[in-house]
C-alpha cells in the first residue's frame, strides 16, 4: 500500500511516499481504508525525533483518520465491513486499574496512534476494534477527520477536568492554535462566555467568527489579565484554557476569579513556570493538567458533532503525497483550524 513514511528523523523533507506491505488484521483488529487523515503537532515531534517518542523506522505518522472498514480480524464482533468510521486516536490496554476506572487516557500502556505504531498517513491503518466508531451518513469524512485529537483534548480540558458550567467565563490563551479553536467552539456550545487572547492580528476576525465575545490582541508587553479584570468588573474568569506555558502563565493565573480553574494541556514555550502560592490558596484556585481524553469522553464529544452542535474547523486540505508541504504549512503557524491529508480518490 501507499504510505508516507519517515526513514530518518528531521525536517518535513524526511516525509517520503513509499510502498509498504499491506497490513492484515489479527484478533480483535480492524483494517480501515482511509479517506482522510489530519495533522497534529504530535506528528512534528515524532518526525523530528527525540527521547519522548522512540519509534522503529521506517514509521508512518498520523493520529487522526476516517475511512471505511475494509476487513475485520478473527473474534471481531459488531463491526461490519463497509462501515464508515472515525478512528479513536488513544490506544489503551482495557485491563489496568486506570482503564477499569474509565481513566484510560492514563492507561499504563497508553499510546497515541502514529506515535509508536503506524498511523494514518497511509491508504490503510490497522487498529484495535474498540478504536473505530461508526459515523452518520450525513457527516463527511473530511469533517470527521478534523476532530479526534484536538477536539477530544479540548473537551477533556473543559468538561472532564475544569467541569465547565453554563454561563461561566472562559479565557482561551493562544487562541489561534488547533486545540484553542476547539476549546472556543466547545465552550460556546456549552453556553459559556468566551474571552480569547492571540498574538496574531489576522486571526482576530476568525476567532470572533466562532462566537467569542471578546478578543485581545496581545502585544509584546501588554498584560491581558488587566483587560480581563476590566471586562469582568474586577472578578476575573472562572476558567483559563492554557497550553502556551511560561510566556503567558503568570498573566493567565492572574486572570482567574475566586475558585478559578486553570487547565493546561501543553508547554509550547517551555516546561517550567512560576506559581504565586499565596494567590493560589488565598483564592481557592485549582491548577489542572489534561492529557488528550478518555474513550467515554470521545463518545460524548462525537455525539455533539454527530448532532451538528458545532462543526470542526478545517483550514486546508493537501493530497497525501504532499504531506511534507502540509507539515511546512503547520509549522508556519498560519493556519486557523485543522490541516488535512486527502487519501481516498
Min. distance of Cβ 69 from Zn ion in angstroms?
24
Give me the least distance between CB of 128 and Zn ion, in Å please. 12
Determine the Cα–Cα distance for residues 343 and 142; give it in Å rounded to an integer: 10
CB of 101 to Zn ion, least distance (A): 10
Task: Give CA–CA dist 143/41, Å, rounded.
Answer: 19
- Closest approach, Cβ 98 to Zn ion, in A, equals 6
Q: How far is the CB of 125 from Zn ion (least distance, A)?
A: 21
How far apart are CB 74 and Zn ion at their closest, in Å?
23
How, if at all, do strands 84-87 and 29-38 pair? unpaired
Check residue 103 for interaction with Zn ion (CB under 5 A): no
Contact 331/27 with Cβ under 8 angstroms? no
Residue 96 as a binder of Zn ion (CB under 5 A): the answer is: yes
Is residue 107 a contact point for Zn ion (CB under 5 A)? yes
Which residue number, 72 or 107, has a Cβ lying nearer to Zn ion?
107
- According to CB under 5 A, which one of 6, 30, 39, 92 is a site residue for Zn ion? 92
- Among positions 311-330, residues that touch Zn ion (CB under 5 A) are none
Stretch that binds Zn ion, among 98-106, 152-160, 171-179, 286-294 (CB under 5 A): 98-106
In the complex, which residue's CB is closest to Zn ion?
Answer: 107
Smallest distance from Zn ion to CB 88, Å: 14
> Any idea of the CA torsion for 263, 266, 269, 275, to the nearest 10 degrees?
40
HSE-CB at 126 with a 13 A cutoff on CA atoms is 15
Q: Which residues contact 340 (CB under 8 A, 6 or more apart)?
A: 36, 37, 38, 39, 142, 145, 146, 314, 316, 317, 318
Stretch that binds Zn ion, among 101-109, 113-121, 167-175, 334-342 (CB under 5 A): 101-109
Identify which range of 26-34, 66-74, 87-95, 285-293 contacts Zn ion by CB under 5 A: 87-95
130 strand-pairing partners: none
The total number of residues shown for the chain amounts to: 345
- Grid cell in block for residue 304: 455533539
The number of angstroms, rounded, from the C-alpha of 168 to the middle of its chain's C-alpha atoms is 23
Minimum CB distance to Zn ion smaller for 96 or for 267: 96
**Cα–Cα dist 236/170, whole Å:** 10
Query: In the beta sheet, which residues pair with residue 286?
Result: 261
Residues 132/87, Cβ–Cβ less than 8 Å: yes
Supply φ then ψ for residue 202, to 5 degrees: -65, -15
Site of grid cell 494567590: 279
Q: Which is nearer to Zn ion, 107 or 164 (CB)?
A: 107
Of 14, 99, 152, 215, the one binding Zn ion (CB under 5 A) is: 99
Q: Which is nearer to Zn ion, 92 or 263 (CB)?
A: 92
- Which range in 103-111, 152-160, 280-288, 310-318 contacts Zn ion by CB under 5 A? 103-111
- Closest approach of Zn ion to the CB of residue 159, in Å: 22
CA angle 144, 305, 77 (to 5 degrees): 65
Residue 93 found at the interface with Zn ion (CB under 5 A):
yes
Size of the residue set binding Zn ion (CB under 5 A): 5
Contacting residues toward Zn ion, per CB under 5 A: 92-93, 96, 99, 107
Amino acid at each position: 500500500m501507499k504510505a508516507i513514511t519517515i526513514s530518518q528523523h528531521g525536517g518535513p523533507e524526511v516525509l517520503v511516499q513509499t510502498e509498504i506491505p499491506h497490513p492484515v488484521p489479527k484478533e480483535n483488529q480492524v483494517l480501515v481504508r482511509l479517506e482522510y487523515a489530519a495533522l497534529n503537532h504530535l506528528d512534528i515531534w515524532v518526525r523530528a525525533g527525540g527521547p519522548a517518542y522512540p519509534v522503529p523506522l521506517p514509521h508512518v505518522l498520523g493520529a487522526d483518520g476516517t475511512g471505511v472498514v475494509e476487513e475485520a480480524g478473527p473474534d471481531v464482533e459488531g463491526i461490519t465491513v463497509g462501515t464508515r468510521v472515525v478512528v479513536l486516536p488513544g490506544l489503551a490496554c482495557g485491563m489496568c486499574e486506570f482503564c477499569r476506572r474509565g481513566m484510560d487516557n492514563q492507561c499504563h500502556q497508553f499510546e497515541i496512534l502514529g506515535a509508536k505504531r503506524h498511523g494514518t498517513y497511509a491508504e490503510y491503518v490497522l487498529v484495535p476494534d474498540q478504536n473505530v466508531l461508526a459515523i452518520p451518513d450525513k457527516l463527511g469524512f473530511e469533517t470527521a477527520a478534523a476532530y479526534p485529537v484536538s477536539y477530544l483534548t479540548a473537551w477533556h480540558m473543559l468538561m472532564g477536568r475544569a467541569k465547565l458550567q453554563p454561563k461561566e467565563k472562559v479565557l482561551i490563551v493562544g487562541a489561534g492554535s488547533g486545540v484553542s479553536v476547539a476549546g472556543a467552539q466547545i465552550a460556546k456550545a456549552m453556553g459559556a462566555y468566551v474571552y480569547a487572547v492571540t498574538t496574531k492580528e489576522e486571526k482576530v476576525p476568525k476567532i470572533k467568527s466562532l462566537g467569542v465575545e471578546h478578543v485581545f490582541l496581545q502585544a509584546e508587553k501588554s498584560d491581558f489579565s488587566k483587560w480581563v479584570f476590566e471586562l469582568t468588573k474586577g472578578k476575573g474568569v472562572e476558567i483559563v484554557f492554557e497550553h502556551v506555558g511560561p510566556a503567558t502563565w503568570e498573566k493567565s493565573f492572574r486572570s482567574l476569579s475566586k475558585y478559578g480553574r486553570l487547565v493546561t494541556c501543553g508547554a509550547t514555550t517551555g516546561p517550567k513556570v512560576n506559581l504565586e502560592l499565596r494567590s493560589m490558596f488565598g483564592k481557592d484556585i485549582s491548577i489542572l493538567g489534561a492529557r488528550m481524553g478518555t474513550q467515554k469522553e470521545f463518545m460524548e464529544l462525537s455525539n455533539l458533532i454527530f448532532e451538528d452542535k458545532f462543526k470542526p474547523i478545517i483550514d486546508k486540505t493537501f493530497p497525501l503525497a504532499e504531506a511534507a508541504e502540509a507539515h511546512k504549512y503547520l509549522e508556519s503557524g498560519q493556519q486557523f483550524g485543522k490541516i488535512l491529508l486527502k487519501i481516498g480518490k
